[in-house]
Every structure is written in structure tokens, then in C-alpha cells.
Chain A
Amino acid sequence: QKEVEQNSGPLSVPEGAIASLNCTYSDRGSQSFFWYRQYSGKSPELIMFIYSNGDKEDGRFTAQLNKASQYVSLLIRDSQPSDSATYLCAVNTGNEKLTFGTGTRLTIIP
């Protein structure tokens, strides 16, 4: 069974601080990794994807991938109350299939 694990939270971070979200995956052959944001009752919204080891930055968001450790993370700098949501880690574990983690609920405290 190919698993994607996330700490369910809730993770509380003061406004303006850095939020750090983590994800581990079991399938060593996984090639691509995605972070989605999901507000309650809404659909997943893509934030970032990463394929190569290292860091990838997009605005306030940085994705980090370490394939040797089977670990992917998302950093959110200068956290805003609007960042409060559930963050889903998704891993491509087949030709087209994404396997999702349970998500980490993030709350930004004003």
C-alpha cells in the first residue's frame, strides 16, 4: 500500500511567522509531489509542485523535497489569516494517480 503521511494538526502559527508543513511518503519510486490547499467544504487548490530534490520557491511558499528521506515539506513565510486552511500533500504514485495525505489543518493566529 502506497502511503502518504501528514500530521493532522491542528498547527497554530502566529500571523507573520513561518508555517512549516511536513509530509512523508512510502513509495520510493514516486516522481512528483504536490501541495494543495483546501478550505472547509471547498475543492483542493494547487499551491506548488516539485519534482527535483532541493527547494522550490514561489512567492511566500517554498516546497522542499528530499527523495532519499522520502520527505517533502511546505514553508509559508509571513503567514496570513487567509492561509488558515487544510494543506494536502499529494504524491504521484502511478501513471496518473495522485495519492493524498489526510492533510494538516493550519490556523494562523492574528
Chain B
Amino acid sequence: EPEVTQTPSHQVTQMGQEVILRCVPISNHLYFYWYRQILGQKVEFLVSFYNNEISEKSEIFDDQFSVERPDGSNFTLKIRSTKLEDSAMYFCASSIQRTENTEAFFGQGTRLTVV
């Protein structure tokens, strides 16, 4: 069964460092997302991406964050200068259409720990 894959599963980084989280969405999906979940809290939307551009983003997704689809398969989230409060599970998701019309499937997540 097709699935969204994320690497790495766990990333530890020092405060102020840049991190790149990687995702391979399901191959025929056109919409890509990043969500995060701080430990014990709700899943929060960060950004959606379609047709090689950001289509929607949340207040959390400030200038420290960026997304890119560098090739036909990968979708990345970059955090330029990590803060302690960026520690969370980051989930990539993809859907074949907009989630008004269809479901989004989540990857297994990357646990980011900023020390």
C-alpha cells in the first residue's frame, strides 16, 4: 500500500542550527502538507503546497520556515535557526485533491529535538 515516508525518524540539533526534514509523498498525490505536534498537544497545521508553491500557511510558519519540492519526489521542510520551542513531531502528509474533497495521509513523523 502506498505510504508517505519521512526521514530522519529522529533529529537532534543544537539551538540556532538549520535542519531539513524530508518527505516522500504518495506518488500520484498533488497536495502536500506539513503539520507539527508538540508533545501532549494537538496536531497543528503549518503549510500546504500545491503546484510548486505555498497555497496556505499558518501563523506558526514564519520566516524561519520554508518548504521546497527540489525534485519530482521529495518535499522538504527547512527550519533556518531552530529554537527550543521548535521541538516537536513533524508530520508530512499528502492528498490527491484538496482536503475539502478527500483525505490526507500522514507519514510516520520526524521527532525534532532542539537542545
Tell me the A residues contacting B by CB distance below 8 Å: 31-32, 34, 36, 42-46, 49, 88, 90, 92, 94-103
Contacts and interface: CB of A to CB of B under 8 A. Distances in A.
22 contacts: A32-B100, A32-B101, A34-B99, A34-B103, A42-B109, A43-B108, A44-B43, A44-B106, A46-B104, A49-B102, A88-B42, A92-B99, A96-B31, A96-B56, A96-B95, A96-B100, A97-B58, A97-B99, A98-B35, A98-B99, A98-B104, A103-B42
A96 B55 contact: yes
Residue of A44, A90, A96 contacting most chain B CB atoms (<10 Å): A96
B91 interface: yes
Given A44-B91, A96-B33, A97-B58, A102 B42 contact: yes
B38 to A, nearest CB: 12
A63 B101 CA distance: 17
Residue of A31, A46, A95 contacting most chain B CB atoms (<10 Å): A95
B65 interface: no
B106 A45 contact: yes
Contact of A97 (B42, B48, B107): B48
A102 B107 CA distance: 19
Interface string B4-26: 00000000000000000000000
B105 interface: yes
A95 B56 contact: yes
Contacts of A98: 33, 35, 43, 45, 99, 104
Contacts of B89: 43
A10 to B, nearest CB: 14
A92 B45 contact: no
Contacts of A100: 42-44
Contacts of A99: 45
A43 B56 CA distance: 22
B50 A96 contact: yes
A90 B105 CA distance: 13
The 3 closest A-B pairs by CB, nearest first: A96-B48, A100-B43, A43-B106
Nearest to A6: B42
